[in-house]
Amino acid sequence: MKRAYNFNPGPAILPLPVLQEASQGILEIGGSGMSILEVSHRGGHYEAIHFEARDRLLKLLGLKAEEASVLFLGGGASVQFAMVPMNFLPAGKTADYVVGGEFGAKAASEAKKVGSVNVAASSEADKHARLPRGLHWTPQAAYAHVTSNNTIEGTQFQALPADTGSPLVLDATSEFLSKPVDFSRVGLVYAGAQKNLGPAGLTVCVLRKDFLATAREDIPAILSYKAHAKADSLFNTPPVFAVYMFNLVLKWLEAQGGLEGIRKVNERKAALVYQALDEFPDFYDPAVTEKADRSKMNVTFRLKGGDKEKDKEFLAKAEARNLVGLKGHRSVGGFRASIYNAFPEEGCQALAAFLRDYAQGRA
Ligand SMILES: Cc1ncc(COP(=O)(O)O)c(C=O)c1O
């Protein structure tokens, strides 16, 4: 079987042992005579997986069941752009939004349709080439929404913004479970699964119970965090297969030493790629201008000169070395190496070697 060094930004690479186990689960789950794709979400086979995934996640995050609710929702992370303000932004309150990239801008613009929004800071004037500076928080805001890793632009908060004065709501779609999360100031974290967690179709939310208690109830139940929490994420049919895969990914993560273990690996991986780029400043332009803001999940860069033919040649030569999915997002161009948890360290070594060889005319 051929296995590419897959830098796709999401859906993205998954751990091989997870895919191998899932290929068995597609045929039969737990001696049931049924595929994971065929069992009822109300039956024991699925329920065992569902609650195992919930409990594994809480344990990995160092949270107790009394402290936080885990939700498995469908619809993609974009649904959260609407659900967050519908649930937590009542009339008479303002929510703070930090706009560090395209997804943060979308989240803020959706929230504006629901209620009062203050853009606490934006990096739009810098074309999001660095994180926003000079954050202005609203006193007693409903919450402060932050995209903790900007997938398209390649910036990442290394520490959560301080002094928000209101609970943080994190869109952690492209970094969730790549490192520990400090839940002391977080009300809600959400992440679309298709980067670090599993296949597309699942969005994982973790809500502190004290924050969840403040959610509105006079909204359609399918969009209500409280309704989903009350039903243990079995309010309607959950994305069964994606939750099953998520549980396998969590098991794999435990074997990597949990969030601390994977953080160290992710730091080493990112350093390999950035170091190779930095060795050739006349050849490569890292897209992020501040080194401190560089993402450990999405490494964005360009070739100097902006020659489209050269860009094509770069991608073709990379593919010839089994380095796949390096094209940058269509809105920003250039290149992006998405090196999520499941992306192997030797793949980063292979990319670093290619970057050096290409710059020296040896590729
Ligand atoms: C940070 C971030 N937020 C939200 C989204 C939207 O996710 P979805 O396509 O699951 O709605 C993405 C997708 O890449 C993302 O990277």
Residue 322: which CATH number?
A: 3.90.1150.10
Q: How confident is the model at residue 304 (pLDDT cuts 50, 70, 90)?
A: very high
Q: How many CB atoms lie within 10 A of CB 209?
A: 14
Nearest-CA residue for atom 9 of ligand 1: 76
Q: How confident is the model at residue 329 (pLDDT cuts 50, 70, 90)?
A: very high
Q: Average pLDDT, stretch 62-68?
A: 97
Q: Average pLDDT, stretch 77-105?
A: 98
Q: Are residues 22 and 66 in the same domain?
A: yes
Residue 341 CA to ligand 1 center (angstroms) comes to 17
DSSP secondary structure of 140-191: T-S-EEEESEETTTTEE-SSPPS--SS-EEEE-TTTTTSS---TTSEEEEEE
Q: How far apart are CA 207 and CA 232, in angstroms?
A: 13
Q: How far apart are CA 298 and CA 340, in angstroms?
A: 8
pTM: 0.98
What is the share, in percent, of the chain residues with pLDDT greater than 70? Answer: 100
Indicate which atom in ligand 1 lies nearest the CA of residue 78. Answer: 11
Q: Are residues 241 and 268 in the same domain?
A: no
Residue 276 CA to ligand 1 center (angstroms) comes to 28
Residue 249 CA to ligand 1 center (angstroms) comes to 19
Q: How confident is the model at residue 181 (pLDDT cuts 50, 70, 90)?
A: very high
Among all chains, which residue has been given the structure tokens 């994977």?
Answer: 262
Q: Quote the pLDDT of residue 162.
A: 84
Q: Are residues 204 and 303 in the same domain?
A: no
Q: Are residues 182 and 275 in the same domain?
A: no
Q: Average pLDDT, stretch 142-161?
A: 97
Q: How confident is the model at residue 128 (pLDDT cuts 50, 70, 90)?
A: very high
Nearest-CA residue for atom 10 of ligand 1: 76
- Of 173, 195, 202, 331, which is best to mutate to test ligand 1, by the most ligand atoms within 8 angstroms of its C-beta? 173
Task: Output the CA torsion sign for 288, 11, 6, 160.
Answer: positive
Q: How far apart are CA 283 and CA 263, in angstroms?
A: 29
Indicate which atom in ligand 1 lies nearest the CA of residue 10. Answer: 14
Residue 216 CA to ligand 1 center (angstroms) comes to 24
Edge-to-edge strands, sheet with 94-99: 68-73, 203-208, 186-192, 168-171, 144-147, 94-99, 116-122
Q: How far apart are CA 26 and CA 13, in angstroms?
A: 19
Residue 27 CA to ligand 1 center (angstroms) comes to 30
Q: Are residues 94 and 132 in the same domain?
A: yes
Q: How far apart are CA 242 and CA 293, in angstroms?
A: 31
Which residues does a 6 A CB cutoff place in the pocket of ligand 1? 10, 76-78, 103, 147, 151, 171, 173-174, 192
Residue 165 has pLDDT above 90, yes or no: no
Q: Are residues 285 and 212 in the same domain?
A: no
Q: Quote the pLDDT of residue 215.
A: 98
- DSSP E strands, the chain: 5-6, 68-73, 94-99, 116-122, 144-147, 149-150, 155-156, 168-171, 186-192, 203-208, 284-286, 298-303, 323-324, 335-338
Residue 103 CA to ligand 1 center (angstroms) comes to 7
Residue 185 CA to ligand 1 center (angstroms) comes to 23
Indicate which atom in ligand 1 lies nearest the CA of residue 152. Answer: 16
Cβ proximity of 133 and 160 under 8 Å: no
Residue 103 has pLDDT above 90, yes or no: yes
Burial of 322 (0-12, 13-18, 19+ CB in 10 A): middle
Q: Quote the pLDDT of residue 163.
A: 86
Q: Are residues 279 and 302 in the same domain?
A: yes
Within 219-307, residue ranges assigned H as helices are 225-230, 240-255, 258-278
Q: Are residues 351 and 223 in the same domain?
A: no
Q: Are residues 325 and 273 in the same domain?
A: yes
Q: Is 260 helix (H, G, I), strand (E, B) or coil?
A: helix
Residue 77 CA to ligand 1 center (angstroms) comes to 5
Nearest-CA residue for atom 2 of ligand 1: 173
Q: Quote the pLDDT of residue 258.
A: 98
Indicate which atom in ligand 1 lies nearest the CA of residue 150. Answer: 1
Q: Are residues 186 and 74 in the same domain?
A: yes
> What pLDDT digit, counting tens, does each position of 214-231 carry?
999 999 999 999 999 999
Of 36-40, 42-46, 161-165, 263-267, where does mean pLDDT reach its minimum? 161-165
Q: Quote the pLDDT of residue 140.
A: 95
Q: How confident is the model at residue 350 (pLDDT cuts 50, 70, 90)?
A: very high
> Which residues share a beta bridge with 203?
73, 192
DSSP one-letter code for 245 = H
Task: Output the CA torsion sign for 92, 105, 132, 174.
Answer: positive
Q: Average pLDDT, stretch 142-151?
A: 98
Residue 88 CA to ligand 1 center (angstroms) comes to 20
- Of 81, 148, 151, which is best to mutate to test ligand 1, by the most ligand atoms within 8 angstroms of its C-beta? 151
Residue 97 in domain: yes
What is the domain range of residue 338? Answer: 258-359
Q: Are residues 248 and 275 in the same domain?
A: no
Q: Helix (H) and strand (E) counts for the chain?
A: 10, 14
Q: How far apart are CA 12 and CA 325, in angstroms?
A: 9
Higher-pLDDT residue of 351 and 75 is 351
- Number of domains forming the structure of the chain: 2
